């Protein structure tokens, strides 16, 4: 009886060992009770819009018990953001969401994550090439073009003088918002007389606007690549007693910022730039479920002006 029991145990072990060895060479799917860890690499939290992006990511992730998000803030430092991505790779997170400070320097680290088998969702700012799982963002060329068309229509072809306070010009959004705007001005009498890269930051914009005000007696319009830049310009103009002679338009349209500025009469218009944070989490869930996802998702935008802000704005064509 004892020999028979020993023989049965040996047979059972012989059956288990191959199965364990075989399983060790496979990628085991997580069960429904397992928690997925997402690494969120944010380029900086010095802009209210990016604070909102993180809040949108967290709010959507908090709806699911099996999602954990680890946030890292690169504090506007490309080298630090590269290091953060490498840390996420070493930690073997299940998915990476990255909103890059600059395209080229973050392309390599994103490719490293992909090579390590970590899906990557690029949010807001693209990287070079297409070695990522998915890109989510609005079309900044369309938004910049809409801002330029609004300006041309508002001034009716008159010779308006424009100050452009640009976002970081080594980032695709900054470049696209500039190109879309200036292309829309072609053929009109509107003229950009002053431009500066304020790197999305309100203090920089206020300083540059002070310089513009000291150089030009006539400024008809300020176009800021984000609402903080335009707000900084407004504060500089107000300090100089010239805010009443200038129109101000921006981009982002956060409820507590850009839209509020329009309602308060500080901005004449703002163009929505959705953060995409909630969409990123929704797409991550699809990836975890093994579903195929689109390579690119283009988010819609709306115009909020003095005339339509109380009605919720109007969508861009």
Question: What tens digit of pLDDT does each residue of 175-204 get?
Answer: 999 999 999 999 999 999 999 999 999 999
Q: Specify whether 63 is located in the same domain as 190.
A: no
Q: Specify whether 96 is located in the same domain as 237.
A: no
Q: Specify whether 116 is located in the same domain as 56.
A: yes
Does residue 25 register a pLDDT over 80?
Answer: no
Name which of 5-14, 63-72, 77-86, 229-238 the model is least confident about: 5-14
Q: Specify whether 84 is located in the same domain as 201.
A: no
Tell me, what CATH number does 289's domain have? 3.40.50.2300
pLDDT, mean of residues 273-294:
97
**What is residue 32's predicted lDDT score, i.e. its pLDDT?**
52
Does residue 120 register a pLDDT over 90?
Answer: yes
Q: How many residues does the chain have?
A: 317
Buried b (16+ CB within 10 A) or exposed e, 62-101: eeeeebebeebbbebebebbbebbeebbeeebbbbbbbbb
Q: Specify whether 158 is located in the same domain as 49.
A: no
Q: Specify whether 170 is located in the same domain as 254.
A: yes
Structural domain contains residue 115 = yes
Q: Specify whether 311 is located in the same domain as 189.
A: yes
Name which of 72-81, 156-165, 265-274, 306-315 the model is least confident about: 156-165
Is the Cβ–Cβ distance between 155 and 223 less than 8 Å? no
Q: Between 171 and 66, where is the model more confident?
A: 66
For 67, phi then psi, to 5°, come to -120, 130
Q: Specify whether 153 is located in the same domain as 264.
A: yes
Q: Specify whether 162 is located in the same domain as 240.
A: yes
Structural domain contains residue 14 = no
**What is residue 33's predicted lDDT score, i.e. its pLDDT?**
64
pLDDT band at 158 (very low <50, low <70, confident <90, very high): confident
pLDDT, mean of residues 61-78:
96
Residue numbers of the domain that contains 220: 140-273+305-315
- Secondary structure letter of residue 28 according to DSSP: P
**How many structural domains comprise the chain?**
2
Q: Specify whether 263 is located in the same domain as 154.
A: yes
- Secondary structure letter of residue 160 according to DSSP: -
Q: Specify whether 122 is located in the same domain as 186.
A: no
Structural domain contains residue 250 = yes
Q: Which long-range contacts (CB under 8 A, 24 or more apart) does 62-67 make?
A: 64/281, 64/285, 65/35, 66/32, 66/33, 66/34, 66/35, 66/36, 67/35, 67/36, 67/38, 67/281, 67/284, 67/285
Q: Please give the Cα distance from 1 to 139 (Å, whole number).
A: 77
Q: Specify whether 156 is located in the same domain as 266.
A: yes
Structural domain contains residue 3 = no
**What is residue 34's predicted lDDT score, i.e. its pLDDT?**
85
Residue whose structure tokens are 């802000």: 309
Structural domain contains residue 22 = no
Does residue 103 register a pLDDT over 90?
Answer: no
Q: Please give the Cα distance from 149 to 136 (Å, whole number).
A: 25
Structural domain contains residue 295 = yes
Structural domain contains residue 29 = no
Structural domain contains residue 95 = yes
């Amino acid at each position: 009886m004892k020999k028979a029991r020993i023989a049965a145990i040996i047979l059972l072990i012989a059956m288990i060992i191959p199965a364990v060895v075989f399983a060790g060479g496979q990628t085991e799917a997580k069960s429904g009770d397992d928690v997925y860890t997402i690494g969120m690499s944010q380029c900086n939290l010095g802009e209210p819009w990016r604070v909102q992006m993180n809040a949108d990511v967290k709010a959507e992730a908090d709806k699911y018990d099996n999602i954990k998000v680890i946030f890292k803030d690169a504090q506007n430092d490309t080298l630090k953001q590269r290091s953060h991505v490498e840390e996420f790779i070493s930690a073997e997170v299940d998915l990476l969401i990255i909103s890059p400070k600059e395209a080229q320097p973050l392309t390599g680290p994103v490719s490293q994550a992909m090579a390590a088998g970590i899906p990557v969702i690029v949010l807001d700012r693209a990287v070079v090439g297409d070695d990522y799982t998915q890109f989510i963002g609005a079309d900044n060329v369309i938004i910049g073009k809409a801002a330029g068309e609004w300006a041309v229509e508002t001034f009716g072809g008159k010779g308006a003088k424009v100050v452009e306070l640009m976002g970081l010009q080594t980032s695709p959004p900054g470049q696209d918002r500039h190109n879309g705007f200036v292309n829309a001005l072609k053929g009109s009498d509107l003229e950009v007389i002053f431009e500066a890269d304020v790197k999305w930051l309100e203090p920089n914009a206020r300083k540059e606007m002070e310089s513009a005000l000291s150089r030009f007696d006539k400024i008809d319009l300020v176009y800021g690549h984000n609402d903080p830049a335009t707000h900084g310009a407004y504060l500089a103009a107000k300090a100089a007693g010239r805010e009443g002679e200038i129109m101000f338009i921006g981009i982002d349209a956060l409820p507590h910022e850009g839209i509020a500025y329009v309602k308060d009469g500080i901005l004449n218009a703002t163009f929505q730039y959705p953060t995409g944070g909630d969409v990123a989490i929704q797409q991550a869930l699809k990836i975890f479920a093994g579903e195929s996802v689109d390579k690119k998702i283009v988010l819609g935008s709306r115009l909020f002006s003095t005339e339509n802000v109380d009605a919720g704005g109007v969508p861009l064509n």
